[in-house]
A and B are shown apart, each in its own frame.
Chain A
């Protein structure tokens, strides 16, 4: 052993040296391309502007006094005229006035400016006004003067290089604070935007969390691995989805058409909203008994399904009335509630959202139901039929399912890439899908189960990882294009990013739960959903809360800068003020951000301690 080590050591030293050289090379190149240069930092110009910015930042524009200004112009000739020292009018000595000696000088020379009768202890700029108009708004110079207790000042003013035959002016603008300090307009704007920022983060976190939870279960290996189904079930359920979605969507739209005549009719809305839950709860009690020891007979079962279907339709009808009511009340509230009009707006928007997404939800629900019924049908068929007939069944339906999936993908491609050729977007994919489906059916033994769960798992994981690698800021740019500049784009971007990153983190928690309780619950005869509710969820609640808090922190931070790309929130103001070199206002916004981020940090750490 020692022998071997000794032999290897020179080679090891060479390796070590080479590694150091490589490191040096990498960092040297890094310096080059990131332009590390302290020379620039030391230059006087940089130093000066840095000091100016730092001073502005140290005085955030939060409070201000009302100010009284005294503006006095006094004539001066830059380059003395040929006729010797010009005479200037004698100032009115009853109020503030300036005396400049001498009254003419060459550019770059210094004259003495003396002020009298100003208000005591005031300060302000003393500047050169080029051109011969005393009202000119262009001012040159950065000099500042301060009056003493007698309202007097003396200042040696260096004339700029602006010579003219005509008279020019030096202007003193002395400002005095009056009254008590009050909040600036910047402060009000900042407040408004910081509130927007916090709510942006809140909405994004809430939506993101709700959608991430179900995703996290199908992205968890331990839950998905045991999910296997026979090919017959898979093909039928794939066919069930699109059919269910279309049928469900149309049926719900049809239900909606019965509620439209009553739009704006609040009493009818109310009546429906009271009656529907009563009907539904009676119906559910009857059709879904809590516990059933023996299997009910066929007729009862069919009647039950029928009643359940009716219940669902009636519920959707009620939902549309609820949405209508919410919108109507919202409209009334918006106009009559004054300062609380936003509550009305909230109601209106919620109603509108419900109205719009209800048919979509109906479609998805119907798709899910039909597909799960089809899964059972496939399961039954696989159990009951002979291997030969199942093989035939699979050959047909697997081909159809493959064609459907690829055909739909083709249609998506068509709309995204605007390819008009149906060979590429319709017939090609359909043929490929059918072929793949057929091959799958040929090579799968008739009654074998396939790892459906793992396929879903990998697809979900890939999707999550792909989206997660896109920064929220980049998503915001896309959403600004899609829904316009404003906080809504920010909510969408942050919300989407929250969904994908939380789903990943959550699913890792699901994967690390204890397997014991899971198998114990399964052993009682619980189905998959029950197992999740009784064995998985209790175990993952604490990490879910803690990740949500952590995400909330990130979202507050992100929402402060998402405005840089037009996503709403305080970032927009901040960027605007920085671009306008309005550093005192920018400073106010930076302070606001610091306060919000720090207090959210604090709140979330307190909550985390309490609940986790």
Chain B
């Protein structure tokens, strides 16, 4: 159970990216986060694993307050939270397999990982994850030799290596064409169904929300403006979320 309580983030420049946001995410839910660009979706997801320090509020995960965790506790918490990014964020010059193994960094002894040594079980596990997302044959390629869709699968494999209990996906399909978008979303759906992983996924297109999400939260200028089921978004709600001038397409 993830509980967001009065979360506020004010950036150094004074921008209020999150304004007193509160909602709960039960375990094993597929939650979509929607909103215009600049509404605070990325900020929200990054506050949860504290890549961004929240200004105020609490984030309780299984009862533990993430915002109060010490650096060491944070390491332990982060390794249970996988993250998938819009621009994949792979290390381009490293091999695919190294990118995937990086998902274990929160577990292995730092002294060993500095020498680029991973336990044998991790090597096997990495191959297995690559097989799961269907690109085991690319293991020894450099990451930047892969296409966008393939890179995002590596990103998912990296998150899976963490044995995550939760995955934060920040617009995972916004840089991909619609066909690829569905294949990536299906992987996330599969992880959500089979592995029981909670997924928080920010999305641009409402059709993807309807197709994949169990529940939706919507942000507008940092404020929570909607929380409910995907099919509850009627025309009025739509205008609340996307602004008065927005037109509903598709």
Contact = CB atoms under 8 A, between A and B. Distances in A.
Interface of A: 288-293, 376, 379-380, 383, 514, 516-517, 519-527, 529-530, 533-535, 538-539, 541-542
B76 A525 contact: yes
B231 interface: no
Contacts of B37: none
Contact of B107 (A293, A534, A535): A293
B197 to A, nearest CB: 15
A383 B70 contact: yes
A380 B70 CA distance: 8
A526 B77 CA distance: 11
A530 B116 CA distance: 10
B62 interface: no
23 contacts: A288-B112, A290-B119, A291-B107, A380-B70, A383-B70, A516-B89, A519-B46, A519-B51, A523-B51, A524-B78, A524-B79, A524-B82, A524-B103, A524-B161, A525-B75, A526-B105, A527-B105, A530-B110, A533-B114, A533-B116, A534-B91, A534-B113, A538-B91
Of the listed residues B104, B121, B161, the one surrounded by the most CB atoms of chain A closer than 10 A to its CB is: B104
Nearest to B86: A516
Interface of B: 46, 49, 51, 70-72, 74-79, 81-83, 85, 87-94, 98, 102-114, 116-119, 121-122, 155, 158, 161-162, 168
Given A291-B122, A383-B70, A527-B75, A520 B85 contact: yes
A284 to B, nearest CB: 8
B126 to A, nearest CB: 13
Contacts of B161: 524
A185 B70 CA distance: 71
A379 B74 CA distance: 13
Nearest to A536: B91
Given A289-B109, A525-B106, A519 B122 contact: no
Nearest to B69: A383
A291 B119 contact: yes
Given A288-B112, A291-B122, A533-B114, A520 B89 contact: yes
Nearest to B115: A533
Contact of B109 (A290, A376, A539): A290
A542 to B, nearest CB: 8
Top 3 A-B residue pairs of the complex, sorted by shortest distance between their CB atoms: A525-B106, A525-B79, A516-B89
Contacts of A291: 104, 107-109, 119, 121-122
Nearest to B90: A517
Contacts of B89: 514, 516-517, 519-520
Contact of B85 (A292, A516, A541): A516
A377 to B, nearest CB: 12
Given A288-B112, A517-B89, A524 B162 contact: yes
B93 A524 contact: no
A541 B49 CA distance: 29
A533 B102 CA distance: 10
Contacts of B82: 523-524
Contacts of B122: 291
A541 B93 CA distance: 9
Contacts of A533: 113-114, 116
B241 to A, nearest CB: 27
A539 B94 CA distance: 9
A535 B119 CA distance: 20
B112 A534 contact: no
B44 to A, nearest CB: 15
A342 to B, nearest CB: 33
B105 A290 contact: no
Contacts of B103: 524
A522 B111 contact: no
Contacts of A530: 105, 110, 113-114
Contacts of A517: 89-92
A290 B93 contact: no
Given A520-B102, A525-B78, A534-B91, 8 more contacts: A290-B112, A291-B104, A380-B70, A516-B87, A520-B89, A520-B158, A521-B91, A521-B105
Given A520-B158, A538-B94, A539-B91, A379 B79 contact: no
A355 B217 CA distance: 65
Contacts of B105: 521, 524-527, 530, 534
Nearest to A533: B114
